[in-house]
Structure 1
Amino acid sequence: MSEKKGFRAKVQRFGSYLSGMIMPNIGAFIAWGIITALFIPDGWWPNESLAELVDPMLYFLLPLLIGFTGGRMVHDLRGGVVGATATMGVIVGADIPMFLGAMIMGPLAGYLMKKIDERFQDKVKSGFEMLYNNFSAGILGAILACFSLFGVSPLVEALNNLLAAGVEVIVAAGLLPLANIIIEPAKILFLNNAINHGILSPIGAEQASEVGKSILFLLEANPGPGFGILLAFAVFGTGMSKSSASGASIIQFFGGIHEIYFPYILMKPTLILAAIGGGVSGVFTFVLFDAGLVAPASPGSIFALLALTPQGNYLGTILGVIVAAAVSFVIAGFILKTSKQEDDDLSSATGQMEEMKGNQSAVSSTLTQDAEEAQFEKDAEAVEEKTADEVEKVIFACDAGMGSSAMGSSLLKNKFKKADIDIFVTNTAINNIPDDADIIITHKDLTDRAKAKLPTAEHISVENFLNSPAYEELVERLKK
């Protein structure tokens, strides 16, 4: 059992790193998608001059951002600079967008720069630090750029072409809907970001550059399957699962936080059939109507899907979401009506989800109040509290920097505003915690990683991002 947990943790950590390179740059992907949708010859407002932005952004800007982010995740700004430099080699050496190459060279360059600094940085004599910093990064960057140009680029291009060809074969054979047989269970195991941003988004971006859209952006982001399952709980559920499902469905469908419906499936694993059925039927509808998006939809909100739907594709996109929701609702409703339900199932499933991910679900806002208070008191004794004069930035951190931490950040912002506390609050991925953070709030299972990232900050552990007594204690302390 411990070996399985260790393997699962490694897979989730790998997925976290993959998505961590893409997600901070989603804004750039969306900017490129908007420009593509508006100004290419088949766009809403064709403009030859503005359309010239499309290829440079796709072939240079996006891979360089990914390479920089990958390097920075490993070794801060120095790793980022060398990562972007090394990525330039795979860009020049290939005729396709080098997202995959950037995801390889960025972290590799950051890792090598980190090892070199560990070996030599403390041996540099006083006054020569800048000389060492600049030339070590420059020499390594030059070597890796040449290496990636001749060694890595041909291999990555061949692999990328193989993956793209495989996707084209699947699409041509009409088998793309079957991909959700893998995607939906993988989402429940918290590999959704790795699949969407690590695999589908890079291939989809290449397709979108050629035809102006890609159906791959819709495979994981479709909110229909989860929405249908939550509606089924709202109608056919019992106890806490029934009472919480309505609010969860709003957050999932409009807010795009898909993780909120995962505990509902974990409490009754046969519901994965509803998710698969909804996903397959939704993608079948997308294929039937030749639907697609111009860029990755993140988060997977209905608003994000509609905003990135190209001209003439709205009917297919909307129908795909509706069909997915309807099918998952029918299947989930049948399962709930014909099986025994216990009121405490959701609580235990939420605990199971926390164990799997180390990140509290928003749906469990009232499930662990007593344990939360005990944990907070224990943590309060273990940290050195900062006064209001010492606090300028509060950071919520989780694996991906979205979802529950984003909602926790929004909640604390509102509490600060009502208490007239002028302190900056935001959320981020745990690998991207800024060096100037004064207070870092994490789920208790992630606090050790956050402390290792920035030990000088005050760390607050919570059980529940949406209902923690730590927030009220923090507000009262900072008011004083």
Structure 2
Amino acid sequence: MSAASPPEKKSGLRVRVQKLGTGLSNMVMPNIGAFIAWGLLTALFIEAGWLTGIFDSLKDPDGWVAEIGGWGAYEDGGVVAPMITYLLPIIIAYTGGRMVHGNRGAVVGAIATMGVIAGADVPMFLGAMIMGPLGGWLMKHLDGLWEGKIRPGFEMLVDNFSAGILGLLLAILGFFGVGPIVEAFTRAAGNAVDFLVEANLLPFTSIFIEPAKVLFLNNAINHGVLTPLGTAEAVETGKSILFLLETNPGPGLGILLAFSFFGKGFAKATAPGAAIIQVFGGIHEIYFPYVLAKPKLILAAILGGMTGVFINVIFATGLRAPAAPGSIIAIYAQTPGDSFLGVTLAVLGATTVSFLVSAVLLKADRNKDDTDLAAATASMESMKGKKSSVASALAGPEHQGAIHDIVFACDAGMGSSAMGASVLRKKIKQAGHQDVTVVNQAISNLTDTHDLVVTHEDLTDRARQSTPSAIHVSVDDFMSSPRYDEIVEMLGRTNVEASDQPDADTGHGPRHAAGTATAGAAVAAAAGTAVQQSASEVSQADADTGGNVLALESIVLHGSATTAAEAITEAGQLLVTAGAVDPSYVDAMHDREKSVSTFMGNGLAIPHGTNDAKVSIRRTGISFVRYDQPVDWNGKQAEFVVGIAGAGKDHLALLNQIAQVFLDADQVARLRAADSPEEVSHTLLVVDR
């Protein structure tokens, strides 16, 4: 939908940088073991290495000790220099080429990288990250040119020579073009880093690095810039502070410790375990949801990061090689002997400052509700572009057994929840989960008897207070939220797993056995809200209310409103004119919109009153307004506005039918093209779906 375009444009640059960072990370991370091996060899055998001093102290009349001590040195005959010069760039390029076009792309990318290695005097990590994927991409397109056109028996000849010739050309390009350019960039960037260090400005890089980590832009910074520059510096000086700019676990540790002492609810309970994962496991993304849930805590991360960098600058510390993952164990493994004190103080200092700032911010937080880590984790995974294996533990307590009772809750339990429940119910039934019920209720009527609760993201905290033991799912688009598909996927997993371990007496899973009575009672009590009527039941519901739930006089084909507020008034006045509500109900519709948006998605908005406004409803009524120019509804485009006033439960079947209409592109097109109220009424009420 065009309504989603503005947010996508705003986040387009971030998404592209994330994709770039992911690509760089995918080239580097599989080869981290080689970096670790190189770092350990460096620690053991460079001039100031641990074993070199031992060998030098031994008397060696026959030369065998000197020979052992020198095999790992940087100078000729050693293994450290060839590893950093040839092995690491080539395996990075090989991995990048294989990502694009399998083994053929990998081979061409490795050949091309030899050109940039020979054409420059600095480690060619950046060159490898360019030439590897480029070689794979060109090989892929060349293969596509003659795919299916080679005579039988000549395939191997063409494949081998095409790869060899392309590799040759790219190696020449790398030697004379890419290599010198990357070398110049590397030296310029190194000079910039030296300037920042000399001017005592390096700590200020945390202003960019710490927010970038939470937004998953760190891979582009770390693997695209810091690792190549840090490696080049480590070759010359034996260590680099650049390896510590992003990997210091202190900022995240301080935030998690603050939640452990001053957090609330589930966030406080999970923070200690998250801290262990972050510090020792090195998975920093475990603390990102805590920051996303309380965005002001990014200040603590920044100040903590700046403190750590400042201490590292004072003590002139650094690491021999990248520490990946950012575990304190990996950091110490790459720390030279003269940097242990500085690195330790940097981690402790960053942790302390981050903890103190986070503690103040959490204590001063006026929001007394539990931190919604589930929504924050979902937001983080959305930015990451995939599920987070470690952060999934923050999504809420693990649900035990099958899920049979789902409730969609909104403020009034009237319009939004009915529409959302209808869409979700259809998806669940289509997936074959016939034993799962989906009802809609007002949040004020929720009891802690449901397996799963779905709410608008602005209402999740309220719903969680009434149903703390349920799984909570937050949505922001009632008609086409991707979270519905995640719920269906969850049912396929949990219900099957629960059915594998039935109770010996009841035959049901443990959660279902324990909750059948309460859940069944809740479903029975809310049976009228299940909204499972067919098209014939819709017609019957209309007849029961005098045939005017959606009167023809309440259908407007060319609305006059130009803003969301005007559209709410227009739809509400139609309800007043039809005698369905008192004039005060229109004010309640505006109040409802101020708390939570009634935009459903797919161009539909369904404004309705608050739960308290039901006293202003005389009878059930629905109005329909179509706009030639879509109305801006808080950044989303509403082409159809359906005003709702539900006195009882008789309007729910109609809402179910309307939801099915707006899930069908052909039916929406019919509404858009309708030239009479009768045609609109026929499309909404009569067509069987």
Superposition TM-score tier, normalisation by shorter sequence: 0.7 to 0.9
- 1:17-96 alignment runs, 5 A limit: 17-46=23-52, 47-51=69-73, 52-96=78-122
Instruction: Report deviation, 1:340.
Output: 2.5
Q: Distance in 1 between the 2:500 and 2:199 partners?
A: 58
Q: Distance in 2 between the 1:359 and 1:309 partners?
A: 33
- Residues 1:349 and 2:376 aligned together: yes
- Residues 1:367 and 2:389 aligned together: no
Q: Choose which of 7, 15, 21 in structure 2 pairs with 1:15.
A: 21
- Tell me which amino acid in the other structure corresponds to 2:70: E
Say whether the 8 Å CA contact 2:17–2:220 is kept in structure 1: no
Q: Distance in 2 between the 1:474 and 1:291 partners?
A: 57
Instruction: Report deviation, 1:121.
Output: 2.6
Q: Which residue of 2 aligns with 1:454?
A: none
- Residues 1:230 and 2:256 aligned together: yes
Say whether the 8 Å CA contact 2:127–2:182 is kept in structure 1: yes
- Tell me which amino acid in the other structure corresponds to 1:101: G
Say whether the 8 Å CA contact 1:244–1:363 is kept in structure 2: no
Instruction: Report deviation, 1:368.
Output: 8.0
CA deviation string 1:19-45 (max 9, x = no partner): 211111111111111111110111111
Runs of at least 4 residues off by over 3 Å:
368-375, 377-382, 461-464, 468-476
More helix by share: 1
Q: Distance in 2 between the 1:117 and 1:208 partners?
A: 40
- Tell me which amino acid in the other structure corresponds to 2:375: S
Q: CA 1:333–1:192 in structure 2 vs 1: closer, same or farther (change >3 Å)?
A: same
Higher relative contact order (CA 8 A, sep 6+): 1
Q: CA 1:470–1:184 in structure 2 vs 1: closer, same or farther (change >3 Å)?
A: farther
Q: Distance in 2 between the 1:210 and 1:470 partners?
A: 59
Instruction: Report deviation, 1:155.
Output: 1.3
Q: CA 1:317–1:104 in structure 2 vs 1: closer, same or farther (change >3 Å)?
A: same
Q: Choose which of 147, 160, 168 in structure 2 pairs with 1:142.
A: 168
Question: 3-state DSSP class of the match of 1:313?
Answer: helix
Q: Which residue of 2 aligns with 1:457?
A: none
Instruction: Report deviation, 1:5.
Output: 3.2
Instruction: Report deviation, 1:295.
Output: 0.8
Q: Which residue of 1 aligns with 2:648?
A: none
Q: CA 1:167–1:475 in structure 2 vs 1: closer, same or farther (change >3 Å)?
A: farther
Q: Which residue of 2 aligns with 1:273?
A: 299
Q: CA 1:163–1:134 in structure 2 vs 1: closer, same or farther (change >3 Å)?
A: same
Question: 3-state DSSP class of the match of 1:265?
Answer: helix
Instruction: Report deviation, 1:369.
Output: 6.0
Gaps of 5+ in 1: 383-443, 448-460
Question: 3-state DSSP class of the match of 1:55?
Answer: helix
Q: Distance in 2 between the 1:122 and 1:462 partners?
A: 40
Instruction: Report deviation, 1:364.
Output: 3.9
Q: Which residue of 2 aligns with 1:389?
A: none
Q: CA 1:248–1:118 in structure 2 vs 1: closer, same or farther (change >3 Å)?
A: same
- Tell me which amino acid in the other structure corresponds to 1:294: R
Instruction: Report deviation, 1:371.
Output: 13
Say whether the 8 Å CA contact 1:224–1:278 is kept in structure 2: yes
Instruction: Report deviation, 1:475.
Output: 9.7
Instruction: Report deviation, 1:303.
Output: 0.8
Q: Distance in 2 between the 1:354 and 1:87 partners?
A: 34
Instruction: Report deviation, 1:472.
Output: 4.9
Instruction: Report deviation, 1:275.
Output: 0.1
Q: Distance in 2 between the 1:167 and 1:463 partners?
A: 48
CA deviation string 1:392-438 (max 9, x = no partner): xxxxxxxxxxxxxxxxxxxxxxxxxxxxxxxxxxxxxxxxxxxxxxx
Bigger mean CA deviation after superposition, 172-181 or 269-278: 172-181
Q: CA 1:209–1:226 in structure 2 vs 1: closer, same or farther (change >3 Å)?
A: same
Say whether the 8 Å CA contact 2:21–2:223 is kept in structure 1: no
Q: CA 1:463–1:139 in structure 2 vs 1: closer, same or farther (change >3 Å)?
A: farther
Instruction: Report deviation, 1:363.
Output: 3.6
Say whether the 8 Å CA contact 2:402–2:498 is kept in structure 1: no
Q: Which residue of 1 aligns with 2:598?
A: none
CA deviation string 1:147-183 (max 9, x = no partner): 1111211211111111111111111212111111110
- 1:59-458 alignment runs, 5 A limit: 59-341=85-367, 342-361=369-388, 362-365=390-393, 366-367=395-396
CA deviation string 1:81-117 (max 9, x = no partner): 0000000101111111111111111111110000011
Q: Percent identity?
A: 55
- TM-score when normalising by structure 1: 0.78
Q: Distance in 1 between the 2:353 and 2:188 partners?
A: 33
Q: Which residue of 1 aligns with 2:672?
A: none
Q: CA 1:473–1:7 in structure 2 vs 1: closer, same or farther (change >3 Å)?
A: farther
Q: CA 1:475–1:359 in structure 2 vs 1: closer, same or farther (change >3 Å)?
A: farther
Say whether the 8 Å CA contact 2:309–2:346 is kept in structure 1: yes
Say whether the 8 Å CA contact 2:215–2:383 is kept in structure 1: yes
Gaps of 5+ in 2: 1-6, 53-68, 404-423, 433-481, 502-689
Instruction: Report deviation, 1:128.
Output: 1.5
Q: CA 1:186–1:470 in structure 2 vs 1: closer, same or farther (change >3 Å)?
A: farther
Question: 3-state DSSP class of the match of 1:312?
Answer: helix
Q: CA 1:262–1:72 in structure 2 vs 1: closer, same or farther (change >3 Å)?
A: same
Q: CA 1:473–1:291 in structure 2 vs 1: closer, same or farther (change >3 Å)?
A: farther
Q: CA 1:280–1:470 in structure 2 vs 1: closer, same or farther (change >3 Å)?
A: farther
Q: CA 1:470–1:359 in structure 2 vs 1: closer, same or farther (change >3 Å)?
A: farther
Give the length in aligned residue pairs: 399
Say whether the 8 Å CA contact 2:401–2:497 is kept in structure 1: no
